[in-house]
Each structure stands twice: as C-alpha cells, then as structure tokens.
C-alpha cells in the first residue's frame, strides 16, 4: 500500500460501518459512501412500522458517527458503477471517486420472486421509508374504516404478512398488540375484534433457523394472541384488495407485507463480478473478490461460505464481523503478512413475539423462551443500537409503552389531498 492508502467503503450499514470504525485510528484515508446520510438499525424497523418507536430513534447520521475520526470522510451519493481497471467508482450524482482498496457493503433489497402483484401492492420492510409508508398506510386504513365501517369487510383492518422468519413473526406480534391495546382506544366506534393479522409461511414451521420447539412456542404464542398462522402456504398473486394463496384460499386485505426474503443489492449485478445463484458477489475465504486483490465484499452483498461450504446467512453479526475482518486484512497487508481466513462466530439467534415473550437459541445449544428471552432480546438490541441518544430514547419509549400500553408514534406522515 502507498503511505496513506485510500480505502473506499460503499454502504454505511452494519458491515461498512464496522470497517470504517475499525480503521478510524489507522494510517489510511477512509471514504464512506452511502446513498442516505444515515445508518438504519434494520432489526427495529418493524417497531417504527407499528408506532412503537420514532424513526429517528433507530437511525444515526453517518457524519455524526465519525465525529472525531479525522481520517474518515463521508460522501452522500449512490454508487452506480465500478471500474476495476481505473480503480474508480461513479455515483449517480456524477461524482468519480478513486480508491486504493474498495469495500463493497451495499446490503440487500426486498425480493418478491416475481409473484404477480406483490411489487405493486405489497409493502416491503427494508428501509426507514418502507416502515413509515407502512405505518401511514395502516393507520389510514383504520381512519377510513372509522368513517365507513363497510370497508372492514373489504379488508381495511386485515394485515397479511408473508414470511415466517424473525421479521414476519416480530411484526405480527407487534401488530396484534397495536390493535388490541392501542387502536381499540383510538377507534372506540370500530369493532376491533374484527381486526385480523394473518401470517403466511411456505415452510412447515415459523423461525426455521431455530430449534423446532422454539418455533412451536412462537406459533402457539402468536395464535394465543389472536394471530392466524398459515403454514405450508405460498402466495400466488396479490391484487389491491386480496392475496391469493396456492391452496386456493383468497384473503381479503388492503395490506400485504412482504417479509419473505431479500436478494443482494442490484449493485452486485452492476459490477459485472461473478455472482452466485442467490445474486451475491462471490468472494474468497479472505473476503476478497477472486482476481481482484484490492476489492472486498461483505455483508448481505457477499456470497461468503463457512468451512463446510455453506453460504453465510444475511445477518447483522455476519456483516459486522466481516467488516472487522477486512480492517484486520488491510493491516496484515500493510505489514506484508499473508491473507487470513474469515471465520464467522455464530452467537445465536432470537426473535421477540411481543410483550414479555421471545425465543432465543444461544451458543452451546442453550434454548430460552418467554420473559427471560424477551429481556435478553431487549438488552441485545439496546447494546447494538448506535448512539447514546438513540439508546436513551428507545429505552424511554419502551418503558413508556410497557407501562402505559401506549404507542406514541401513531403519525400518518403522508397528508391527504390539499
């Protein structure tokens, strides 16, 4: 590397931030490029969508994160393409940025697998915009039903969630609470017993990454809270008023939330680099792109494999550990050492099912559910949230919501016609 090499990091998500933070005291110049000027803590997006938290509480400006890091620059821009010959990337805004080392960490986007109508009528939950749009839409349905209760029969108070992974399960639990604890007071003239949350999962159980007993606990708890769980069902099509299942069942709804999968960000394809079947960029054991020793890919964008050749999951801890690994690789390289191998340390998985209940699978095969798992979940999310202000405001909101059974952020941000 030249005396102060320029490391360009594309994406200020979990992976990109981990690289830049780890390099903040190193003799390198770092530029973090992101299309947004803030980082989003995606695991809590569903709480914004269900009015439990303000959007600002789960986001942090990228510039604010690097206050005091004199070797880190922040660049607001959307990377459109990468030229590996000239070592330059170009943004949609027309800027050219050259690098000595490049780290691609642009994450993933919602994958609807071409199911007819889902792109048009479904709501994703991948960004703050998605969460705010869903929240506004949901609350508006209740406003409309309040004026014209006949709309309840048209699905105004029915939410269909597709995908029984952590996002689907957590969203379903939070929606059931929003309806039964809060909206029931907001809309005293509506019969909230007619509000439905339907969770559709193609597999034979929820939360397939967890032990079957935890999946079963999650299903039973959700059902006890009034959520209809449909297992072994796939969505065939969506219209503006219904969701059609492969079994022939048609669900009347005005709100379809698609939590059934993500795919690598389209930037992966735009680079022209070899992709694996899931559309992620193929990387070697040290997370470099084969044939491009100066380019690393991490997080949801990378097809990295473990020692059994299994693809690593698209999870925040994978992205963060990979980010720290890249920083260590650059140091190794600067000291003339041979490349290392990235090893993911799985610290377990968890999902909350709503108030006082969660499921967690910890290292060593330890399984926890119920109140203890819920407390673990709360603590872990607070620890990983960036910024003291965010942690404080989330803690206050959670405390308030817990004690008062209220949700303060019931704001419809999109105004009606002027």
Ligand X SMILES: Cc1cc2nc3c(=O)[nH]c(=O)nc-3n(C[C@H](O)[C@H](O)[C@H](O)COP(=O)(O)OP(=O)(O)OC[C@H]3O[C@@H](n4cnc5c(N)ncnc54)[C@H](O)[C@@H]3O)c2cc1C
Q: Of the candidates 22, 51, 115, 125, which one interacts with ligand X according to CB under 6 A?
A: 125
Cα 90 versus chain centre, distance:
26
Q: Is 78 in the site for ligand X (CB under 6 A)?
A: yes
| Segment interacting with ligand X (CB under 6 A) among 13-21, 247-255, 272-280, 288-296 | 13-21
Helix axes 316-334, 14-23, angle to 10 degrees: 30
Which of 42/242 has CB closer to ligand X? 42
Q: Of the candidates 36, 133, 140, 355, which one interacts with ligand X according to CB under 6 A?
A: 36
Which of 145/283 has CB closer to ligand X? 283
Chain position carrying tokens 């109508």: 117
**Do the bridges between strand 255-258 and strand 122-123 make them parallel or antiparallel, or are there none, so unpaired?**
parallel
By rule CB under 6 A, what count of residues binds ligand X? Answer: 34
Q: Is 122 in the site for ligand X (CB under 6 A)?
A: no
**Cβ-Cβ contacts under 8 Å for 354 (sequence gap 6 or more):** 173, 174, 176, 177, 221, 225
Q: Is 12 in the site for ligand X (CB under 6 A)?
A: yes
CA distance 91 to 338: 33
CA distance 327 to 315: 19
Q: Of the candidates 74, 97, 105, 245, which one interacts with ligand X according to CB under 6 A?
A: 105
φ, ψ of residue 395 in degrees (nearest 5): -60, -45
The minimum distance between CB 248 and ligand X, in angstroms, equals 30
Q: Of the candidates 116, 317, 387, 408, which one interacts with ligand X according to CB under 6 A?
A: 317
DSSP 8-state secondary structure symbol assigned to residue 273: -
Which of 167/242 has CB closer to ligand X? 167
Q: Is 196 in the site for ligand X (CB under 6 A)?
A: no
Secondary structure in 3-state letters for 4-39: CCEEEEECCCHHHHHHHHHHCCCCCEEEEEECCCEE
The enclosing H or E element of 390 equals helix 388-404
Spatial CA neighbour of 349 closest among 370, 311, 380, 305: 380
Q: Is 14 in the site for ligand X (CB under 6 A)?
A: yes
Q: Of the candidates 42, 112, 255, 361, which one interacts with ligand X according to CB under 6 A?
A: 42
Q: Which token pair is 117?
A: 């109508």
Which of 91/242 has CB closer to ligand X? 91
Q: Is 360 in the site for ligand X (CB under 6 A)?
A: no
Residue whose CB is nearest to ligand X in the complex, by number: 13
The minimum distance between CB 134 and ligand X, in angstroms, equals 11
The minimum distance between CB 298 and ligand X, in angstroms, equals 6
Residues assigned a catalytic role = 170
Residues at the interface with ligand X (CB under 6 A): 10-16, 33-36, 42-43, 45-46, 78-79, 105-107, 125-126, 166-167, 265, 267, 299-301, 314-317, 319
């Amino acid at each position: 590397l030249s005396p102060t090499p320029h490391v360009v990091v594309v994406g200020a998500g979990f992976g990109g931030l981990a690289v830049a933070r780890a390099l903040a005291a190193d003799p390198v110049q770092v530029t973090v490029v992101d299309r947004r000027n803030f980082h989003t803590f995606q695991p809590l997006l569903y709480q914004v969508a269900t009015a439990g938290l303000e959007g600002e509480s789960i986001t942090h400006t990228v510039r604010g994160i690097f206050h005091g890091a004199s070797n880190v620059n922040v660049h607001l821009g959307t990377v459109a393409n990468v030229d590996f010959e000239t070592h330059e990337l170009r943004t949609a805004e027309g800027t050219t940025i050259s690098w000595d080392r490049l780290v691609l960490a642009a994450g993933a986007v919602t994958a609807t697998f071409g199911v007819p109508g889902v792109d048009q009528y479904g709501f994703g939950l991948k960004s703050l915009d998605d969460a705010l749009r869903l929240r506004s839409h949901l609350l508006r349905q209740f406003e409309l039903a309040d004026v014209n209760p006949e709309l309840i029969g048209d699905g105004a108070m029915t939410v269909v969630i597709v995908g029984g992974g952590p996002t689907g399960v957590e969203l379903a639990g939070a929606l059931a609470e929003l309806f039964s604890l809060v909206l029931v007071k907001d809309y005293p003239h509506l019969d909230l017993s007619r509000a439905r949350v339907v969770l559709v999962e193609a597999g034979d159980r929820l939360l397939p990454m967890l032990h079957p007993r935890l999946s079963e606990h999650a299903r039973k708890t959700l059902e006890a809270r009034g959520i209809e769980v449909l297992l072994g069902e796939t969505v065939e099509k969506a219209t503006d008023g219904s969701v059609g299942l492969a079994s022939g069942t048609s669900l009347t709804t005005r709100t379809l939330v698609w939590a059934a999968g993500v795919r690598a960000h389209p930037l992966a394809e735009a680079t022209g680099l070899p992709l694996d079947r899931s559309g992620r960029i193929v990387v070697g054991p040290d997370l470099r792109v084969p044939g491009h020793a100066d380019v690393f890919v991490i997080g949801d964008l990378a097809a990295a494999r473990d020692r059994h050749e299994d693809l690593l999951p698209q999870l925040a801890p994978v992205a963060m550990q990979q980010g720290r690994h890249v920083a260590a690789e650059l140091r190794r390289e600067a000291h003339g050492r041979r490349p290392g191998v990235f090893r993911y340390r799985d610290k377990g998985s968890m999902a909350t099912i709503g108030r006082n209940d969660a499921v967690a699978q910890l290292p060593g095969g330890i399984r926890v559910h119920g109140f203890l798992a819920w407390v673990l979940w709360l603590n872990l999310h607070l620890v990983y949230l960036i910024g003291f202000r965010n942690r404080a405001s989330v803690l206050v909101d959670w405390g308030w919501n817990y004690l008062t059974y209220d949700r303060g952020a019931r704001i419809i941000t999109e105004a009606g016609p002027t």
